[in-house]
Amino acid sequence: MTTTHDVINPATEQLVRSVELATVEEADAAIGRAAAASPGWRAVAPADRALLLRRFSDLVGEHQEELALLEVENAGHTIGNARWEAGNVRDVLAYYSGAPERNFGRQIPVAGGIDVTFREPLGVVGIIVPWNFPMPIAGWGFAPALAAGNTVVLKPAELTPLTAMRLGELALEAGLPEGVFTVVPGKGSVVGERFVTHPDVRKVCFTGSTAVGQRIMRGAADQVKRVTLELGGKSANIVFADSDLELAAARAPYAVFDNAGQDCCARSRILVERSAFDRFMEHFETAVRGVVVTDPHDEAAEMGPLISAEQHERVSAYVEGASDGVDVAFRGTAPEGAGYWYAPTVVLPRSTSDPVWQEEVFGPVVAVLPFDDEADAVAKANDTAYGLSGSIWTRDLGRGLRVARGVEAGNLSVNSHSSVRYSTPFGGFKQSGIGRELGPDALEAFTEVKNVFISTE
Ligand code: NAP
Ligand code: MG
């Protein structure tokens, strides 16, 4: 039986359109086509595979505005962010179009012959995408996977299928053969689960909640299926008294409220050196009140709504619904009326065991605490099961490096909040995930090393 999902614009609560959800049989058929396309795709000459990916990249670039507007409607992303996201897919494809011709093995000196290694594709790769960054997270999976010679089935989040579906069409238009890259909109419990249980899917690349990630890892064990998991975070923004405090405070809102806080890299904990705490909070308040939360179509918009009513409820539960109460220091503004709006909110936890300090809120809520010295800052930052990203603000670069080495997280930045560059590896320590995406590392995640010895005797 076919079911549909009504895509709702989170800024207006209006219906955008209905999307048919794939059944298990349809998922199986898509996986079957991907498996059938696999031998042909891996046999495409490296330069030709590169050319096809470059064409795909060019087409995404030509459709950047269309894709961006689709994301504004579907996910409530600000138009500025949505343009960046479509541009990121273009750039990631361009970056990995260089990979087929540089997918090097090694030649290892041995007695009696020649030993070489090959980086073989895995076969069919299943990519499961969340709703928070529908385009970039899809691209981080499919671009390197395709470049390495795999075929791909991709399940977008039920809430945000539209840009992925369009990218699937553009891939065909670019000349990628049928079955090489197939987007399968459907439920996690149906299509996502099938990626885990279907023996022809050799790897699952998942981004989303910890609970589902754990379930996928357990399921993957049955077939010793490869997994890459990216499961969110509770990252710290550590501000030392010797930093450019005004700059640190001015930038801090964007490190957590970007995408309405629905970002696995959100610096949702701010740690401020005690001697600078009051001064930081003063500047921070001005900055938070200045965040432009409005219609995401507006070129000036810096933050849009949350993705859904459910997410709005989940976020509110940490503040309005906190059982022991939460001290709100100050708030920014948000539109009233239709839409899942939530104003940027700054809270002061009463202890480091408060849920708002420990759990991923995935909304525009940030908790601030003071710290005493470098060791205390690192200990407080590491007091979490997660380990995805983080920032350090200091003018002392030695300290910046020491603290960056001390924080247990995959992506740190000093005097900056950047986490993601397509040319550098991205991923989590601890329960933030397993494996690395992007940069040179992603290719390794989508290939298997084969060693071949050829006798010369
Ligand atoms: P989620 O359930 O983990 O969804 C992520 C993706 O996994 C979606 O495509 C989902 O499909 C799919 N999925 C769900 N159940 C599955 C299953 N049993 N097997 C295979 N795939 C499955 O995340 P959510 O419920 O949307 O969000 C809940 C919380 O997760 C958020 O509040 C946030 O804390 C966290 N989260 C983190 C990230 C991140 O970037 N790390 C992203 C999103 C959410 P459906 O859309 O059909 O459910
Ligand atoms: Mg879920």
205 is catalytic: no
Closest residue CA from atom 41 of ligand 1: 232
Measure the CA angle with vertex 111, ends 110 and 116; round to 5°: 35
Q: List the CATH code of the domain at 3-231+432-455.
A: 3.40.605.10
CA distances from 340 to 167, 255, 293, 313 (A): 27, 21, 12, 9
* Residue-level pLDDT at 28: 98
* Residue-level pLDDT at 322: 84
Q: Which residues of the chain have pLDDT under 50?
A: none
* Residue-level pLDDT at 1: 67
- Cβ of 264 below 6 Å from ligand 1: yes
d(CA 438, CA 421): 8
Number of the ligand closest to the Cα of 312? 1
* Residue-level pLDDT at 380: 98
230 is catalytic: yes
Alpha carbon of 26 to ligand 2 centroid (Å): 21
Of 234, 190, 138, nearest to 22 by C-alpha is: 190
pLDDT tens digit sequence for 238-276: 999 999 999 999 999 999 999 999 999 999 999 999 999
Q: How far is CA 210 from the centre of its chain?
A: 13
Closest residue CA from atom 44 of ligand 1: 208
* Residue-level pLDDT at 419: 80
- Cβ of 261 below 6 Å from ligand 1: no
Measure the CA angle with vertex 350, ends 345 and 352; round to 5°: 95
Q: Give the number of other CB atoms < 10 A from CB of residue 48.
A: 12
- Cβ of 232 below 6 Å from ligand 1: yes
Closest residue CA from atom 43 of ligand 1: 208
Alpha carbon of 210 to ligand 1 centroid (Å): 8
Alpha carbon of 137 to ligand 2 centroid (Å): 17
Residue 221, sorted as left (phi over 0), alpha (psi -120 to 50) or beta, turns out to be alpha
d(CA 144, CA 146): 5
Alpha carbon of 348 to ligand 2 centroid (Å): 29
Number of the ligand closest to the Cα of 157? 1
Query: What CATH topology corresponds to 236-421?
Result: Aldehyde Dehydrogenase; Chain A, domain 2 (3.40.309)
Residue spans of the domains in the chain: they are: 3-231+432-455, 236-421
- Cβ of 207 below 6 Å from ligand 1: yes
Give the mutation target among 209, 235, 313, 361 for probing the ligand 1 site: most ligand atoms within 8 A of CB.
209
Number of the ligand closest to the Cα of 213? 1
* Residue-level pLDDT at 101: 97
Alpha carbon of 281 to ligand 2 centroid (Å): 35
Give the mutation target among 6, 8, 128, 137 for probing the ligand 1 site: most ligand atoms within 8 A of CB.
128
